[in-house]
Chain A
Amino acid sequence: MNADLQKALHKFYGYDHFRTGQEEILQSVLENHHTLGVLPTGTGKSICYQLPAFMRSGLVIVVSPLLSLMEDQVKQLRARGFKRVAALNSFLDYEDKQQVMRNLQNYDLLYVSPEMLQNDFLINRLQSLHIQLFVVDEAHCISQWGQEFRTDYLRLSEVIQNLDCPPVLALTGTATPQVQVDIQHLLGDLDMDKHIYPMDRENISYFIREVQDQQEKNETMLALLRKIQAPTIIYFSSRNMAESTAGIIRANMPEMPCAYYHGGMENEDRILIQQQFLAGQLQIICCTSAFGMGVDKEDVRLIIHYHLPSDKESFIQEVGRAGRDGEESVSVVLYSPGDWQIPIHLIEQDLPEQDSIQQLLRFLYQRVKAGLLELPSYELLIQHIPISETQWRFLLYQMEKHDIVKGNHLHYKANAWKEFLDQIEKFVGNRKRHKLKQLQRMKEWVYTDSCRRQALFADFQSEVRPAKGRCCDNCGDTLADWQAGLTNAQPERTGWREQLYHLLQQ
């Protein structure tokens, strides 16, 4: 037990004990080893790099793909009185970005999105500073076998080299052994200390309810909510469904405060809804996968999947938001046979079509012939070719890899372009097949007859621990006698006079 670390934990967070794995990872980081940490969701990965930022001098850089998570963390740190923290991402306008970049010496902790690290000015500025730790958060994004492949992540090894190879900490909540090997390799074959912790949670049990159609799904959901009456998150794959179902719940259960949350809402409203859920003013949230990251609510008891995500990793992460306090909590999947169409559609949307790739190359070729060697902007591009920004970034990276794009310019060689077209089509095909395979695995888990706990985690760890309480429907458990409690909220006040008095005079 490291007394300094303990003291720092108490001083900065008010906790007396580390959660699983945190101390071991911190130990390795503070000895300046390259470190790979696989920690289950909900165990507080961020302490592993925040504490070094508080304790030692030098900048900690955190690469994170999740903009909302970044913003949340910065806000929470500031709320705790830790002001030497900033985030750099495409959300910021030009002025704010410049402001942060010019004042880097004033920060101890800097969150950046991977694409910001392609900015030469930023790299230049960073080179002049002492970087004590380079953190790759959600490190599984670097592997095409991870649930969320980000081509931007592939360039991180170059960035690490350019920064004179500071100690690297790669963190992820979910990584199969294959992905772990990939992370280490793609970050530049670093010699890493590995700290892998099991992802299964002993206090969560798993249930699946098969229904025939949407109406039956709604009825099953309402019956469940009436019976359980506990802080609940319900996941949907579409914003519209999250909104309309929240309406159904409110109409049927007016006594249970419920709201929806998704990425299309105004930032201000998102903060309010999140905070209301934490404060117990809301007990049920209907949301898309945008909700949950950075929401540190300990007593979420029930996670309902109205729609399933397209891979087990995402599912494990979403379910992992339940029962962080260690109390018994439950995952219920409501599924009807038609549900599989949605994720298939999403997978198709994520990757560029063969047609669009060909159109894109033809368009670029026309420009080369006309002597326009400069790379067109995305805004110009979408007027001619129907691709999403994600797809464009993906293709851009691939073109750079094949030397079709250098710096900001196109290089034309007939052979190279033809070869690129062949390879990229093959690559996209592989990606799609891989994603469909992931989906297939999710599907097999739904249809399995054996223990759901074993089936869910067997890919990720050699041994799955037995459940503390209930295990799963396939093991013969039921929810019949399960009782959970609501989050205590402040009593509701009637009338504006009483409310105003309460806010400012009590």
Chain B
Amino acid sequence: MLLASIIIHAAQPIRQERSAASIYHLLQGKRSAQTLQDAHMYGLTHLFGIYPKLSRQIFDQVAANALQEEDQDNKKNMPYFNGMAYQSQTEPFLYRLLLLVQLLSNQTKGENRYIPVTDNLAIQHWIKQLYRQEQHHLEDWRNGVYEELYGLLEKLPQIQAELFVDRLTGYHHIGLTTLQLAEKYHVHETDVLLYQTSTIHHLLQQAESNAAAFPYLAALMDKPQHKIRSITSTAQKTRTMLERGMSVEQIALVRGLTENTIKDHIVEITWLDGEALTSKFISDTDAAVILECAMQAGTNKLKQIHALLEGKYDYFQIRLALALRKEQEVKA
């Protein structure tokens, strides 16, 4: 089962340091400072938000079994994911594509009466705009989308291509529901959705990195300026205030939050943006000491590091140092 493999894959770096729930929040894409931090700290950003609709119940069931049989299953090939980059545009892209295929397939047969595959008004509006602009080039679009999909799906494992194409609705042919796909291909319903997400991430990645080769799919993506930064908006506020030179105490007072919450924000910002703001709170030498200690002990557990350094540094400083390490690794 793919979900089980993914959970095991995520559990390895996290090891015993964080609870199973943290993996759940990661897959679900919870936009909290803690989850974003986990994603960065343990090198799991690609799995962030790949399954927004995952139910806690199913996760708990699968995780309980998966983590027991950890050794057996972890050599499986992991499908491509890039959650941190694409999670916010996975769904819009998918539904634009589904609706576009439905439109092109019907339109070429002269059929104007069909019920759109999605109720989402924003998606319908988007495709309508596209139609207005491109209505004299639909032939090109039909061929272009076909060629691009064909080429890109061919690079994927067959199961992903099958699941994806069987979901498409067109002229006198209606796509299958998740449940129907699961039954037809003998995979779990959750895996149908995960494979689909992987397929979409693959299409997005190719279209984004090589827009010249895949112009039609690239046109269905959000423009870069619409991309949502993966920092939470509350942390963004804290950052703005820090940049204005306010102290942690002042910010907490003005925003009516606790100082610890503000510190969470600072750690979150550090994960994403590195040392820009941290020099106020921890010196390079101190950070180096903490990182050295963490490396030697082979742990990311705050409590353990805190004890090893005999309480010389507080938890906030340790978290900052760990966040900085990530930054340094990326640079290196």
Contact residues in A for B178 (Cβ distance below 8 Å): 269
Contact string against A for B residues 90-133, beta-carbon threshold 8 Å, 1 for contact and 0 otherwise: 00000000000100110010001111111101000000000000
Contact residues in A for B248 (Cβ distance below 8 Å): none
Determine if A281 is an interface residue (Cβ-Cβ < 8 Å).
yes
Contact residues in B for A496 (Cβ distance below 8 Å): 153, 158, 161-162, 164-166
Determine if A11 is an interface residue (Cβ-Cβ < 8 Å).
no
- Secondary structure call for the A interface: helix
Cα distance A60–B54 in the bound complex, in angstroms: 43
- Output the nearest chain A residue to B163 by Cβ-Cβ distance: A496
Interface size band for B? 35 or more
Task: Give the contacts of B75-101 with A (CB-CB under 8 A).
Answer: 101
Q: Which of B112, B173, B176 contacts A279 (CB 8 A)?
A: B173
Contact string against A for B residues 143-185, beta-carbon threshold 8 Å, 1 for contact and 0 otherwise: 1011001100100001001101110111111111111100100
- Output the nearest chain B residue to A75 by Cβ-Cβ distance: B115
Cα distance A79–B179 in the bound complex, in angstroms: 27
Determine if B188 is an interface residue (Cβ-Cβ < 8 Å).
no
Cα distance A80–B113 in the bound complex, in angstroms: 5
User: Do A503 and B170 touch (CB < 8 A)?
Assistant: yes
The stretch that binds B, out of A136-144, A218-226, A270-278, A337-345, is A270-278
A269-B177, A276-B174 given; A503·B115 CB < 8 A: no
Which of A81, A273, A276, A503 neighbours the largest number of chain B CB atoms within 10 Å of its CB?
A: A503
User: Do A275 and B115 touch (CB < 8 A)?
Assistant: yes
Q: Which of B113, B142, B165, B171 contacts A499 (CB 8 A)?
A: B165
CB distance from A173 to the nearest CB of B (A): 24
Task: Give the contacts of A47-68 with B (CB-CB under 8 A).
Answer: none
Determine if A414 is an interface residue (Cβ-Cβ < 8 Å).
no
Determine if A415 is an interface residue (Cβ-Cβ < 8 Å).
no
- Output the nearest chain A residue to B158 by Cβ-Cβ distance: A496
CB distance from B169 to the nearest CB of A (A): 7
Contact residues in A for B161 (Cβ distance below 8 Å): 496
User: Do A281 and B174 touch (CB < 8 A)?
Assistant: yes
Cα distance A501–B173 in the bound complex, in angstroms: 13
Determine if A268 is an interface residue (Cβ-Cβ < 8 Å).
yes
Contact residues in B for A96 (Cβ distance below 8 Å): 121
User: Do B119 and A79 touch (CB < 8 A)?
Assistant: no
Determine if A290 is an interface residue (Cβ-Cβ < 8 Å).
no
User: Do A502 and B173 touch (CB < 8 A)?
Assistant: yes
User: Do A504 and B170 touch (CB < 8 A)?
Assistant: yes
Determine if A119 is an interface residue (Cβ-Cβ < 8 Å).
no
Cα distance A269–B119 in the bound complex, in angstroms: 11
Cα distance A503–B101 in the bound complex, in angstroms: 8
Determine if A76 is an interface residue (Cβ-Cβ < 8 Å).
yes
User: Do B113 and A275 touch (CB < 8 A)?
Assistant: no
CB distance from B87 to the nearest CB of A (A): 20
Contact residues in B for A503 (Cβ distance below 8 Å): 101, 105, 165, 168, 170-171, 173
Cα distance A279–B102 in the bound complex, in angstroms: 15
Determine if A267 is an interface residue (Cβ-Cβ < 8 Å).
yes
CB distance from B236 to the nearest CB of A (A): 24
User: Do A268 and B174 touch (CB < 8 A)?
Assistant: no
Determine if A259 is an interface residue (Cβ-Cβ < 8 Å).
yes
Cα distance A290–B171 in the bound complex, in angstroms: 26
CB distance from B175 to the nearest CB of A (A): 6
Q: Which of A76, A268, A490, A495 contacts B118 (CB 8 A)?
A: A268
Determine if A500 is an interface residue (Cβ-Cβ < 8 Å).
yes
Task: Give the contacts of A259-292 with B (CB-CB under 8 A).
Answer: 259, 267-269, 271-273, 275-276, 279, 281
Q: Which of B149, B150, B165, B175 contacts A272 (CB 8 A)?
A: B175
CB distance from B112 to the nearest CB of A (A): 7
User: Which of A's residues lie within 8 Å of B, judged by CB?
Assistant: 75-76, 79-81, 96, 250, 259, 267-269, 271-273, 275-276, 279, 281, 490, 495-497, 499-505
